Amino acid sequence: MSKLKGNVAIVGIGEVPTGRFPDRDAIYHAIESSRLAIKDAGINKGDIDFVMPAAALYSAQFSTDLACSRIVEELGLKNVRTNCQIFGGGSTSACFMQLGGSLITSGIAKYVLCVQADRVGTGVTAQGGIDLFSAAGISSEWERPYGQHVSSVAALISTRYQYETGTSDRHMAAVCVSNRKWAELNPNAMYQKPLTIEEVLASKMLSTPLRAKESNMLCDGGSAFIMTSAERARDITDSPVYFFGEGSRVTHFALSQEPDLTRFGWAEAAKEAFEEAGLTPKDMHIAELYDSYPMIQLITFEEIGLCKRGEGGEMFLKGDTWPGGKIPTTTNGGMLSQGHTGAGGGVAILVEAVRQLMGKAGKRQVKGAQFAVETATGGTYMDVHVTILGNTIP
Query: Which of 212, 318, 362, 363 lies at the binding interface for another protein (CB under 8 A)?
Result: 212
Q: What is the closest distance, in whole angstroms, from the C-beta atom of residue 160 to another protein in the complex?
A: 4
Interaction between residue 224 and another protein (CB under 8 A): no
Q: What is the closest distance, in whole angstroms, from the C-beta atom of residue 208 to another protein in the complex?
A: 4
Query: Which of 59, 82, 102, 139 lies at the binding interface for another protein (CB under 8 A)?
Result: 139
Which 166-205 residues touch another protein, going by CB under 8 A?
Answer: 204-205
Distance from C-alpha of 298 to C-alpha of 204, rounded to nearest angstrom: 21
Strands annotated E in 71-190? 82-83, 112-119
Interaction between residue 159 and another protein (CB under 8 A): yes
Interaction between residue 127 and another protein (CB under 8 A): yes
Distance from C-alpha of 330 to C-alpha of 327, rounded to nearest angstrom: 10
- CB burial of 30-46 (b: ≥16 within 10 Å; e: otherwise) equals bbbbbbbbbebbebebe
The residue type found at 183 is A
Interaction between residue 271 and another protein (CB under 8 A): no
Residue among 340 and 364 whose Cβ is closer to another protein? 340
Interaction between residue 61 and another protein (CB under 8 A): no
Query: Which of 163, 166, 193, 280 lies at the binding interface for another protein (CB under 8 A)?
Result: 163
Query: Which of 147, 238, 308, 324 lies at the binding interface for another protein (CB under 8 A)?
Result: 147
Stated as kind and residue range, the H or E segment containing 335 is helix 334-337
Q: What is the closest distance, in whole angstroms, from the C-beta atom of residue 209 to another protein in the complex?
A: 8
Q: What is the closest distance, in whole angstroms, from the C-beta atom of residue 134 to another protein in the complex?
A: 4
**What letter does residue 196 receive in the DSSP assignment?**
-
Interaction between residue 207 and another protein (CB under 8 A): yes
Q: How many residues bind another protein (CB under 8 A)?
A: 37
H-assigned helices in 184-322:
197-202, 230-236, 266-277, 294-303, 312-318
Query: Which of 9, 156, 361, 384 lies at the binding interface for another protein (CB under 8 A)?
Result: 156
| DSSP letters for 164-192 | HH---HHHHHHHHHHHHHHHTT-TT-S--
The dihedral region occupied by 155, where left means phi > 0, alpha psi between -120 and 50, and beta the remainder, is alpha
- Is the bond into 187 cis (omega within 30 degrees of 0)? no
Interaction between residue 365 and another protein (CB under 8 A): no
Query: Which of 26, 55, 124, 254 lies at the binding interface for another protein (CB under 8 A)?
Result: 254
Give contact residues for another protein (rule: CB under 8 A): 127, 130-131, 134, 139-149, 151-152, 155-160, 163, 204-210, 212, 254-257, 261
